[in-house]
Structure 1
Amino acid sequence: MQIPTTTLRGKPGLPDVSNGWRGLSRGIALTVILAVLAGQIAELPGFSIMGIMILSILAGVLWKSCMDVPHGATAGITFSSKFLLRIGIILMGLRLNLQQIAEAGFPVLAIDVIVIAFTLTIMIYLGGKLKVNKHLAILIAVGTAVCGAAAIVAVAPLIGAKKETTALSVACIAILGTIGSVAYIFLFPYMGMDSYLYGVFAGSTLHELAHVIAAAVPAGDTGGEAAIIVKLGRVALLIPAALILGYLYRDKDVQRNQEKNRLRSLPIPWFIFGFLAMSVVRTIHILPDSVVNAFIAVSIFLLSAAMAGLGLSIKWNDFKQIGNKAIMVAVIGFVALSALGQLLIDLFY
């Protein structure tokens, strides 16, 4: 049977890939434009407290709600929200000196472990009591406890969750995390914390690493570095948390598939190694400060474009389909986590 082909720039017999590249470039361009717009708005009086990243998320959400996205641009938006985010995070490692991680010591590790164990336990238990779909409750719980969408996507195949359930979980966490990060920024002056402790609080309680970075902006470099250190501790703990959840809740079919290829099934956040490599570069002073500062500026812009992509991926209608009980689990879990974060700071600091 002859396989039909289309034309590429008028040449017969070649597959047409131009539409795919156009869609990819449109999506990336849209996130970049929104990030630039957010940067301009962030310079205006009254908006600087929110920062370019939060404004980028809100710009994406507003665009999606009012105008939707260009045809075929989904691939480019996904590229920005995933790959540009990871590149931005890797370059953000240049902000950190590894000596600061050593100085953070036991309190950070203890807070991260307690936060994840507590949040997973209370949210999965509450989901069971309210008769929320088991997979939905688990994914919302791990997204809240560990690192948002990355944790959800990592755990979903381990427990055999459906794609629709995964998408709803990501939508729930993205919206709630965005609301939480904006609320933290406005509450920061009234929380009675110095910049470092606020960074620890944000890093231990917000969902996405991007939410943490954005929310820590008002606390300056000190708060931002503390927030990233604490949050990366939670990201690193994704591996044991996911393996435990996969063992406890995986379906039989999933278990058989995982046994065939154990390495690929491991939910390792590989970008963390790039982040740590950049931290090593900063620690041993390979690059001059001017180059480091330039790369940090690039990382902030890439993260802002990724935030715009995240906002463009949110549908308010999707959030409505989650159900009141699942939303209740997500909100109660986040509030409980925030309260726990305050208690842990009082306990360890």
Structure 2
Amino acid sequence: MNTLSASSLAFQPWQWLRRTTPGLALSTAVALTAISLAQLPWFTQHGLGALTLAIVLGLLLGNTVYPRWAHATTPGVALSKQQLLRTGIVLYGLRLTFQDIGQVGWAGVALDALVLASTFGLACFLGLRVFGLDKRTTWLIGAGSSICGAAAVLATAPVAKGRAQDVAVAIATVVVFGTVGTFLYPALYEWNATHGWLPMDAQQYGLYVGATVHEVAQVVAAGAAVSTEATNTAVIAKMVRVMMLAPFLLLLSAALARSLRQEGAAAGGAGGISIPWFALGFVAVAGIHSLGILPDAVVRVGVELDNLLLAIAMAALGLTTYWKAVRAAGIKPLLLAAILFAWLLGAGGLLTYWLG
């Protein structure tokens, strides 16, 4: 009896590998295809990065041929959108250094913080009280709009206990309005230069783009449409905004724990705080990167690995999201995201002018 138990334990890793390999291979294949497509000029010019393309390809497969393979691939797909996602968020810290704060100054940090807090606060008010959406959808749309698009949605999902369809809806809004922004922001800059509405140079425009546009790829596209100086400032401002992801997740986790404690007290139970350890790992990796002790080659490989892991997670998310579930969410999430986009566009511009 004991011998059989020991044998079964010895074979568990191989059994786990056999169960997860098909789904992991499928998610990886979709991710690699998306990464390759993202390097094509048309996708680059329109700010459509690998993460966006990965979920689109995943959705296409998930709603056509994937259901036939679901039984064999589910364990690996689940691994991709859970454990690999958290690892990807931790490695995201390799893109940042604390020295980035000095590049934009305290005015840039204050701008990013005000944009994040006001946008997420507005999302909570409108989503919960005006549109009557559930907390998961509201928080995910708010996080995607206020911080860094799809990466923020993916990072917030484990904390908010978001379902696949909630995450897909939130990412869809990021894709739609972020893509609109890549065309609208440069056009507004040119109109403003022609009519002189607000005094804004290329550097201030970059600060504006970095503080308000959803995705990093979209920030690059919107900045590059004006100048190299605008692009550089936009990317730095965006990276400072991304840094705020970790404290945001910790605060959100604490707020959720408080809500659960209140509900538990009413029901005679209790709720405890669930610390998003991957957020702390994200800060730790960014801190190590800030010290300058990592060779450039290691950082480059780490960033490439991170791109792959996040793309795999997005592909897995798309594979397990069905159009019926997304359509069931209705028009309200789109309206919420549209209002948040208008807020970022208008209030973000005024804040940039005021602080810049």
Q: TM-score range by the shorter chain?
A: 0.7 to 0.9
For 1:78 and 1:195, the matched residues in 2 are separated by: 43
1:253 correspondence with 2:241: no
How far does residue 326 in structure 1 lie from its aligned partner after superposition? 4.7
How far does residue 33 in structure 1 lie from its aligned partner after superposition? 0.7
Alignment equivalent of 1:332, drawn from 339, 348, 353:
339
C-alpha change, 1:292 and 1:252, in structure 2 (3 Å) is: closer
Contact 1:139 1:169 in 2 (8 A): no
> Counterpart amino acid of 1:190?
A
Deviation digits for residues 113-150 of structure 1 (CA, Å, limit 9, x no counterpart): 43344334434443466462554675456545564254
For 1:329 and 1:53, the matched residues in 2 are separated by: 22
| Bigger shift: residues 333-342 or 316-325 | 333-342
For 1:221 and 1:24, the matched residues in 2 are separated by: 41
Deviation digits for residues 220-261 of structure 1 (CA, Å, limit 9, x no counterpart): 6764443232023144123334534664687523775445xx
Alignment equivalent of 2:312, drawn from 300, 305, 312:
305
SS of the equivalent of 1:46 reads: helix
SS of the equivalent of 2:350 reads: helix
For 2:321 and 2:263, the matched residues in 1 are separated by: 32
Alignment equivalent of 1:173, drawn from 170, 175, 187:
170
Contact 1:81 1:309 in 2 (8 A): yes
Give the structure-2-normalised TM-score.
0.72
Corresponding residue for residue 226 of structure 1: 237
Deviation digits for residues 266-309 of structure 1 (CA, Å, limit 9, x no counterpart): 4x332233333333333333232223222222222222222322
> Counterpart amino acid of 2:240?
I
Q: Aligned ranges for residues 92-241 of structure 1 at < 5 Å?
A: 92-127=92-127, 130=130, 132-133=132-133, 135=135, 138-139=138-139, 142-144=142-144, 145=146, 147-155=152-160, 166=163, 168-187=165-184, 189-192=186-189, 194=202, 198=206, 201-202=209-210, 204=212, 206=214, 212-218=215-221, 223-241=234-252
RMSD of equivalent CA atoms: 3.9
Gaps of 5+ in 1: 1-10, 157-162, 207-211
Corresponding residue for residue 3 of structure 2: none
For 1:284 and 1:292, the matched residues in 2 are separated by: 12
C-alpha change, 1:221 and 1:168, in structure 2 (3 Å) is: same
Alignment equivalent of 2:25, drawn from 29, 32, 35:
29
Corresponding residue for residue 51 of structure 2: 53
Contact 1:200 1:230 in 2 (8 A): no
How far does residue 176 in structure 1 lie from its aligned partner after superposition? 1.0
Corresponding residue for residue 228 of structure 2: none
Corresponding residue for residue 67 of structure 1: 65
For 2:254 and 2:25, the matched residues in 1 are separated by: 37
For 1:288 and 1:314, the matched residues in 2 are separated by: 39
Corresponding residue for residue 286 of structure 1: 293
For 1:281 and 1:88, the matched residues in 2 are separated by: 16
C-alpha change, 1:167 and 1:195, in structure 2 (3 Å) is: farther
What is the number of equivalent residue pairs in this alignment? 323
For 1:178 and 1:190, the matched residues in 2 are separated by: 19
Corresponding residue for residue 345 of structure 1: 352
For 1:181 and 1:301, the matched residues in 2 are separated by: 22
Corresponding residue for residue 254 of structure 2: 243
For 1:120 and 1:140, the matched residues in 2 are separated by: 10
For 1:68 and 1:125, the matched residues in 2 are separated by: 38
Give the structure-1-normalised TM-score.
0.73
How far does residue 186 in structure 1 lie from its aligned partner after superposition? 4.4
Contact 2:54 2:315 in 1 (8 A): yes
For 2:291 and 2:121, the matched residues in 1 are separated by: 41
How far does residue 84 in structure 1 lie from its aligned partner after superposition? 2.6
C-alpha change, 1:321 and 1:46, in structure 2 (3 Å) is: same
1:42 correspondence with 2:38: yes
SS of the equivalent of 2:64 reads: helix
Contact 1:64 1:314 in 2 (8 A): yes
How far does residue 22 in structure 1 lie from its aligned partner after superposition? 4.3
C-alpha change, 1:223 and 1:322, in structure 2 (3 Å) is: same
Corresponding residue for residue 6 of structure 1: none
Gaps of 5+ in 2: 1-6, 190-200, 224-230
For 1:188 and 1:226, the matched residues in 2 are separated by: 16
Corresponding residue for residue 7 of structure 1: none
For 2:138 and 2:39, the matched residues in 1 are separated by: 40
